[in-house]
Structure 1
Amino acid sequence: MASFEPTRSRAPGQAPPPDSVHPRDSSPDAPTSVSRLNETIRGFVANWGSVWVEGEITAWNLRGGHVFGRLKDAGGDALISFRLWSSTLQRLPDDLKTGDRVVACVKSDYFVKSGDFTFTVSAMRHTGLGDQLERLERLRAQLRAEGLFDPARKTRPPFLPHVVGLITGQRSDAEKDVHRNAELRWPQVRFRTIHAAVQGERCVPETVAALQVLDADPEVDVIIIARGGGDPQALLGFSDERLVRAVAAASTPIVSAIGHENDHPLLDDVADVRASTPTDAAKRVVPDVAEQRALVQQLRARARTRLTQRIAHDIAQLEQLSSRPVLRTPESILTTRSHELWTLVSRGRDVVTRRLDAADRQCAQLRASLRALSPGATLARGYAIAHGGDGVIVRDAAQAPMGTAVTITVAEGAFAARSEGPVPESDVS
């Protein structure tokens, strides 16, 4: 690894750079200007060359296509600020992010107007994940395998909570943001706030204790854990396994509002709702009363319009139906039907009468035919029918020899007789 050594100052007797200032050139009576001093510093800094350094990325903020970040010494607490222009960023790996251990080629730069000292990165490459990030990634994989990040186990916060629990730092901007934005959206919102350390050794135990107190409160419908961002080092407490498991075990919906959009502690994965900022958490937890009133008015207007249209449609249909003759003079249909009924009854009566007369005539004809064919007509003319004892009609005199009992049937009844034998044909006439 190359060492960082600025270029040596000018040799003895060498003229100073133009517009530079030397301690001998200034005095209380003839002080130099700030701009001249800064220009002198910039002149010295400009002579320093580029150097390769190794460290861990602790901040990576993308603004306007450029990256502004910080690099931490892998073996200590020393930090430097750096910037990456968009043209350089396009040549670097796409997966660079906070927590990565990298080697970077940096060149010092000094801003004359602000007096700020920073480094411009011309090249950067991975040397492996930082130890902390590596541990967090292992823990993240373990918790995901246990199902703690499963969306099915997460609970949606209520539409309008009775009491909102808030865990945040005392007199923090996060607390002010949550209260201000929630009260702007719903002035009657109620909070139960418990202050806890949001970084350092006290962060995890105090946050877990506050969480258990709020989770046991039956009036608290949702709990917000809020912090206003910071370096990944400061956010480590919100990736602690104790806190993550306590959040997973809570029965009250939890909203994580840690850091900004590019921060991603483990608490975000296990919480029921992840908010990008404390302001976003307030918007997700509390409905906007103005929006709700506007929505109610809109729904009322739509219902009124629908109802008015339906009533107008029904009235038009009733008017159309009532304008029909059958409804305008309903008795006319009864009169028409009564005439039709009378005509049908008369027609039916005539048809029945004709059919009965025809049936009577047919019966008379059949009666006359039967009468003409019936033996009774013959008997009425004086004839008789003789039946033997076995009921057989006597058609031959030989069937009734002398002494045979016969039954004689005449037109009006029958009588018994006994045969005297056959009669000569001469006597029959």
Structure 2
Amino acid sequence: MHPRDSSAQVPTSVSRLNETIRDFVQRWNSVWVEGEVTSWNVRGGHVFGRLKDASGDAAISFRLWSSTLQRLPEQMQVGDRVVACVKPDYFVKSGDFTFTVSSMRHTGLGDQLERLERLRAQLRAEGLFDAARKRAVPFLPHVIGLITGERSDAEKDVHRNAELRWPQVRFRTIHAAVQGDRCVPETIAALKALDADPDVDVIVIARGGGDPQTLLGFSDERLLRAVAAATTPVVSAIGHENDHPLLDDVADLRASTPTDAAKRVVPDVAEQRALVQQLRSRARTRLTQRVSHDVAQLEQLRSRPVLRDPESLLTGRAQDVWTLQSRGRELVRRRMDAAATATAELRAGLRALSPGATLARGYAIAHVGEGVIVRDAAQAPAGTEVVVTVSRGSFTTRSDGELAADPGTERAAATPETTPQDRRMES
């Protein structure tokens, strides 16, 4: 590492580094390898050994658990040429890299395993392994189609575990050879028969494990393509956890064992009842809370004065209307009184300024012609018809045409004394 590298300033721990390596290694798949056993040490019922390549240029360390050791068909020893299915493993504490063996056989299956690997690559390229094409298994199938060996432990395991989980489960079982030459054709025929049955919702192909040689039928291309072409979901339950025929990759669902297949295909009635009870309890709680909340809101609304005594709102408004009505009447009365007073004052003023008031004091107004007021005796020569208006009515007379010596005195005698107010009215 370069001394100026920024990662050197924040180094990681050894345990974290080993955990990272372990997590990466655990994602690797199992592989089949061929080699010579150079070490075979049994400790605590487990085997720890080494496997050398035929060229002698490479070797690996392996471990073989006691459970796997008991299933080996033959006894192994140092110097044997074997084919083993191994999966890499990494120990965090010690930092050791080793392989765990899930199956081991003497040499003889090499050519078959090579053909299987080529078939695996071909089917993967065609998309038969793609998750997008796989069909979902129904939640509660009406009828389960089962293909397995007659009177086999696999059949018993599937039936027993499925009936424990859902007692009303129904099966349509077709027995077929699960190894040998009859395995592939009989399995394909059973698959087609179950796939054509409209009552069958899912098909389980089950076998109780075996060595790679006996499981070769479940990696046959004819069977794999028949499974891919089926319209009913197919579950592969071949062997145990470490057995892995190609049928597992093509099937819609892989179960590690027949027992696991029964658990994954049929729901547990006790769990479903508990779930229903839980959902009912949650629904009851939510409904109770909602009703309680609505009742509380209703009580809160009902406790408001306007809803508790609706007439109080009308009573208050009626009092306001009465008050406004009284104030309106009083205001109108005051304005009418003020208007009457102003009218009386104007009427008095008009009366004081009216010519009628002057006439009431004994004065008269003489008119000639078309209502022309006579202000000078010269306006009414002798014989002129004069209309004289007094306080009460008017009369007509004729002028004698005589003028007084003093026009001013004569005018004064003929015209009563006038006030400035009378003169304003006459003008």
Q: Structure 1 length normalisation: TM-score?
A: 0.56
Corresponding residue to 2:239 among 235, 259, 263: 259
Give the conservation status (yes or no) of the 8 Å contact 1:169–1:197. Answer: yes
Distance (Å, rounded) in 2 between the aligned partners of 1:328 and 1:228 = 78
Q: Which residue of 2 aligns with 1:277?
A: 257
Q: Which residue of 2 aligns with 1:143?
A: 123
Cα deviation for residue 203 of structure 1 reads: 0.6
Cα 1:135–1:331, aligned 2, differ >3 Å: closer, same or farther?
Answer: same
The one-letter code matched in structure 1 to 2:187 is T
Give the conservation status (yes or no) of the 8 Å contact 1:72–1:79. Answer: no
Cα 1:66–1:286, aligned 2, differ >3 Å: closer, same or farther?
Answer: closer
Cα deviation for residue 357 of structure 1 reads: 11
Correspondences of 1:305-344 after superposition (within 5 Å): 305-343=285-323
Distance (Å, rounded) in 2 between the aligned partners of 1:315 and 1:64 = 68
The one-letter code matched in structure 2 to 1:313 is H
Cα 1:317–1:211, aligned 2, differ >3 Å: closer, same or farther?
Answer: same
Q: Which residue of 2 aligns with 1:295?
A: 275
- For 1:120-159, what per-residue CA distance to the aligned partner results, in whole angstroms no more than 9, with x for missing partners? xxxxxxxxx9322222121111111111111111111111
- For 1:144-198, what per-residue CA distance to the aligned partner results, in whole angstroms no more than 9, with x for missing partners? 1111111111111111111100000000000000000011111111100000011
Distance (Å, rounded) in 2 between the aligned partners of 1:260 and 1:151 = 22
Distance (Å, rounded) in 2 between the aligned partners of 1:229 and 1:66 = 12
The one-letter code matched in structure 2 to 1:141 is A
Cα 1:242–1:323, aligned 2, differ >3 Å: closer, same or farther?
Answer: same
Corresponding residue to 1:204 among 173, 179, 184: 184
Structure 1 residue 63 corresponds to structure 2 residue 65: yes
Corresponding residue to 1:214 among 184, 191, 194: 194
Cα 1:63–1:52, aligned 2, differ >3 Å: closer, same or farther?
Answer: closer
Correspondences of 1:359-398 after superposition (within 5 Å): none
Q: Which residue of 1 aligns with 2:361?
A: none
Cα 1:92–1:320, aligned 2, differ >3 Å: closer, same or farther?
Answer: closer
Cα deviation for residue 320 of structure 1 reads: 2.2
The one-letter code matched in structure 1 to 2:208 is G
Give the conservation status (yes or no) of the 8 Å contact 1:99–1:130. Answer: no
Distance (Å, rounded) in 2 between the aligned partners of 1:229 and 1:61 = 21
The one-letter code matched in structure 2 to 1:303 is A
Q: Which residue of 2 aligns with 1:162?
A: 142
The one-letter code matched in structure 1 to 2:65 is R
Structure 1 residue 195 corresponds to structure 2 residue 175: yes
Cα 1:326–1:72, aligned 2, differ >3 Å: closer, same or farther?
Answer: same
Distance (Å, rounded) in 2 between the aligned partners of 1:298 and 1:51 = 55
Cα 1:355–1:226, aligned 2, differ >3 Å: closer, same or farther?
Answer: farther
Q: Which residue of 2 aligns with 1:34?
A: none
Distance (Å, rounded) in 2 between the aligned partners of 1:189 and 1:181 = 11
Q: Which residue of 1 aligns with 2:151?
A: 171
The one-letter code matched in structure 1 to 2:192 is Q
Which structure 1 segments of 5+ residues have no match? Answer: 5-49, 55-59, 103-128, 362-381, 383-429
Cα 1:133–1:254, aligned 2, differ >3 Å: closer, same or farther?
Answer: same
Cα 1:347–1:169, aligned 2, differ >3 Å: closer, same or farther?
Answer: farther
Cα deviation for residue 94 of structure 1 reads: 3.6
**What SS does the corresponding residue of 1:147 show, helix, strand or coil?**
coil
**What SS does the corresponding residue of 1:257 show, helix, strand or coil?**
strand
Range 261-270 or range 247-256, more displaced? 261-270
Distance (Å, rounded) in 2 between the aligned partners of 1:168 and 1:239 = 16
Corresponding residue to 2:225 among 235, 245, 249: 245
Cα deviation for residue 315 of structure 1 reads: 1.8
Cα deviation for residue 359 of structure 1 reads: 12
- For 1:339-379, what per-residue CA distance to the aligned partner results, in whole angstroms no more than 9, with x for missing partners? 33455566678889999999999xxxxxxxxxxxxxxxxxx
**What SS does the corresponding residue of 1:256 show, helix, strand or coil?**
strand
Q: Paired residues, what number? A: 294
Among all aligned residue pairs of Structure 1 and Structure 2, give the percentage whose two residues are the same amino acid. 71
Cα deviation for residue 100 of structure 1 reads: 9.0
Distance (Å, rounded) in 2 between the aligned partners of 1:298 and 1:313 = 22
Range 301-310 or range 247-256, more displaced? 301-310
Give the conservation status (yes or no) of the 8 Å contact 2:63–2:98. Answer: no
Cα 1:150–1:359, aligned 2, differ >3 Å: closer, same or farther?
Answer: farther
Structure 1 residue 152 corresponds to structure 2 residue 132: yes
Which structure 2 segments of 5+ residues have no match? Answer: 1-35, 38-49, 55-61, 342-366, 368-427
Give the conservation status (yes or no) of the 8 Å contact 1:100–1:133. Answer: no
Cα 1:273–1:349, aligned 2, differ >3 Å: closer, same or farther?
Answer: farther
Cα 1:252–1:81, aligned 2, differ >3 Å: closer, same or farther?
Answer: closer
Distance (Å, rounded) in 2 between the aligned partners of 1:342 and 1:160 = 77
- For 1:295-348, what per-residue CA distance to the aligned partner results, in whole angstroms no more than 9, with x for missing partners? 111111111122122222222222222222222111111222333345556667
Cα 1:96–1:338, aligned 2, differ >3 Å: closer, same or farther?
Answer: same
Distance (Å, rounded) in 1 between the aligned partners of 2:234 and 2:332 = 92
The one-letter code matched in structure 2 to 1:180 is R
Q: Structure 2 length normalisation: TM-score?
A: 0.56
The one-letter code matched in structure 1 to 2:181 is E
Give the conservation status (yes or no) of the 8 Å contact 1:236–1:265. Answer: yes
Distance (Å, rounded) in 2 between the aligned partners of 1:359 and 1:229 = 121
**What SS does the corresponding residue of 2:291 show, helix, strand or coil?**
helix
Cα deviation for residue 237 of structure 1 reads: 0.7
Give the conservation status (yes or no) of the 8 Å contact 1:71–1:80. Answer: no
Distance (Å, rounded) in 2 between the aligned partners of 1:359 and 1:243 = 118
Distance (Å, rounded) in 1 between the aligned partners of 2:315 and 2:227 = 84
Cα 1:51–1:297, aligned 2, differ >3 Å: closer, same or farther?
Answer: closer
